[in-house]
């Protein structure tokens, strides 16, 4: 049965609901983020907003305080979900390198054994493209086997190339990129406003207790310790989410990403993407979110394996240097050796017959069984000399030669050994 894309996904993402929702590999951190949001709101609704409701019975302001806290919390959670459970702008990886980018680089060679080095196929590691009339360098990604578009970077945690990569946020368990940056900023800024609201309402309740009891601040804090805890928690949280909101306001106004700001801050390079503060904000908040380039629920289409492209041989470079298969060459050498062996055996048999006939005419008769015993010996093959053969990608040579003494001897009286092709190669 064919697999779906999310089942054969090579990244580190996690999918639920049959590939409808995509999370980062650290999606469990979402549980911590949810607890940090929900637990303080529950405490606020039970120990603060419930009492404030009784303080404003005449005009229903107390109910409004409770409803605003609940609705605002739901809004923050929805933004968190939209940030962490969607494709941040992942670029589908290629199944093979781009063939049109192969180049033959004779300056880079690969040692393939036998002390021989052959030129290798190389990719240009970078390319330059024009963005708003300014040159921008893009890099080749070995993992995804593609040239990254401008502002794209490979996330080492998710193992994906992400368009307009900003950073990987562990608090939402997802990369922040082109398709979810808007929701991420709205989540952070809304969480900042929620902290301010909870802090203000808790401080208001402390003030009301001081007025009603005509006591001091310490007495009011003793009567409502939950308000004190919430004020301290919101004050600490504001340093994080508030500072993050201010930093991203600066990034949006200058049309930068967190990755670009930290990496290229010392280079003092011209920002090719800055179109002015107003246009930069409009680009983030008023443009349509691009559709995902991945259909995670689609079936994987099997692609036939294509051999790597072989460039045309240059002058002084043979086809063997470019990686031709050595097996046909070896098989041809072995067949030639076997043919020469048969020819030498046939010639020596004729010499033995001639020797027997000469002995029969000039000397005492000999039994033909002697010749048969000579011919029937296990060591009747002529002596073979095999040249040492060194094979490599760049040079394949080998020869089987009959020793000259085989043709010089007229009498075959010593034992002869047959050297197998395997022994000859050793």
Integer Cα distance of 333 and 76 in angstroms: 76
Smallest CA-to-CA distance from 314 within 97, 103, 122, 123 is with 103
Integer Cα distance of 36 and 244 in angstroms: 17
Q: Which whole-number Å values give the CA distances from 265 to 144, 260, 278, in the listed order?
A: 27, 7, 22
Q: Which whole-number Å values give the CA distances from 37 to 78, 347, 421, in the listed order?
A: 12, 98, 77
Integer Cα distance of 421 and 426 in angstroms: 9
169 is catalytic: yes
State the DSSP H helix or E strand holding residue 225, giving kind and residue range, or none if neither: helix 225-237
- The tokens for 318 are 């043979």
Tokens 């309740």 belong to which residue?
205
Residue 2, CB-side half-sphere exposure with 13 Å CA sphere: 9
Integer Cα distance of 284 and 306 in angstroms: 41
Furthest C-alpha separation in the chain: 150
Output the CA angle 87-93-97, nearest 5 degrees. Answer: 165
Integer Cα distance of 125 and 128 in angstroms: 11
Out of 152, 169, 195, 234, the active site residue is: 169
Q: Which whole-number Å values give the CA distances from 135 to 147, 253, 269, in the listed order?
A: 15, 22, 11
Residue 91 and residue 152 in contact, taking contact as beta carbons nearer than 8 Å: yes
Report the 10 Å Cβ neighbour count for 397.
11
Catalytic site positions: 169
């Amino acid at each position: 049965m064919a697999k779906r894309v999310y089942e054969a996904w090579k990244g580190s993402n996690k999918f639920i609901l049959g590939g409808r929702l995509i999370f980062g590999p650290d999606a469990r951190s979402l549980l911590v983020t949810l607890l940090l949001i929900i637990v303080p709101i529950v405490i606020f609704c039970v120990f603060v907003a419930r009492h404030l409701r009784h303080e404003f019975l005449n005009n229903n302001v107390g109910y409004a305080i409770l409803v605003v806290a609940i609705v605002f919390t739901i809004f923050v959670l929805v933004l968190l979900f939209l940030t962490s459970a969607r494709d941040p702008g992942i670029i589908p990886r290629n199944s093979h390198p781009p063939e049109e980018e192969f180049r033959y680089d004779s300056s880079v060679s690969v040692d393939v054994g036998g002390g021989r080095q052959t030129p290798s196929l190389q990719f240009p590691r970078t390319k330059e493209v024009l963005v708003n009339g300014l040159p921008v360098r893009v890099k080749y990604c070995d993992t995804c086997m593609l040239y990254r578009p401008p502002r794209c970077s490979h996330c080492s945690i998710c193992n994906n190339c992400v368009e307009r990569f900003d950073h990987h946020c562990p608090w939402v368990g997802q990369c922040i990129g082109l398709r979810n940056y808007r929701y991420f900023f709205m989540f952070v800024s809304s969480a900042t406003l929620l902290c301010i609201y909870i802090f203000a309402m808790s401080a208001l309740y402390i003030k009301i207790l001081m007025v009603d009891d005509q006591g001091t601040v310490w007495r009011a804090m003793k009567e409502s310790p939950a308000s004190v805890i919430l004020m301290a928690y919101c004050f600490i949280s504001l340093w994080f989410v508030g500072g993050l909101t201010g930093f991203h306001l600066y990034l949006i106004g200058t049309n930068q990403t967190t990755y670009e700001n930290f990496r290229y801050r010392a280079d003092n390079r011209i920002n090719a993407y800055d179109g002015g503060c107003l246009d930069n904000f409009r680009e983030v908040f008023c443009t349509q979110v691009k559709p995902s380039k991945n259909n995670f629920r689609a079936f994987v289409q099997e692609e036939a394996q294509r051999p790597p492209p072989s460039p045309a041989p240059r002058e002084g470079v043979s086809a063997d240097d470019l990686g031709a298969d050595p097996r046909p060459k070896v098989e041809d050498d072995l067949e030639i050796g076997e043919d020469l062996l048969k020819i030498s055996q046939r010639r020596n048999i004729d010499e033995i017959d001639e020797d027997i006939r000469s002995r029969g005419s000039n000397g005492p008769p000999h039994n033909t069984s002697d010749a048969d015993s000579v011919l029937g010996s296990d060591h009747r093959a002529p002596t073979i000399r095999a040249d040492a053969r060194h094979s490599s990608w760049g040079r394949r040579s080998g020869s089987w030669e009959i020793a000259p003494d085989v043709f010089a001897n007229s009498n075959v009286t010593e034992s002869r050994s047959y050297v197998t092709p395997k022994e000859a190669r050793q």
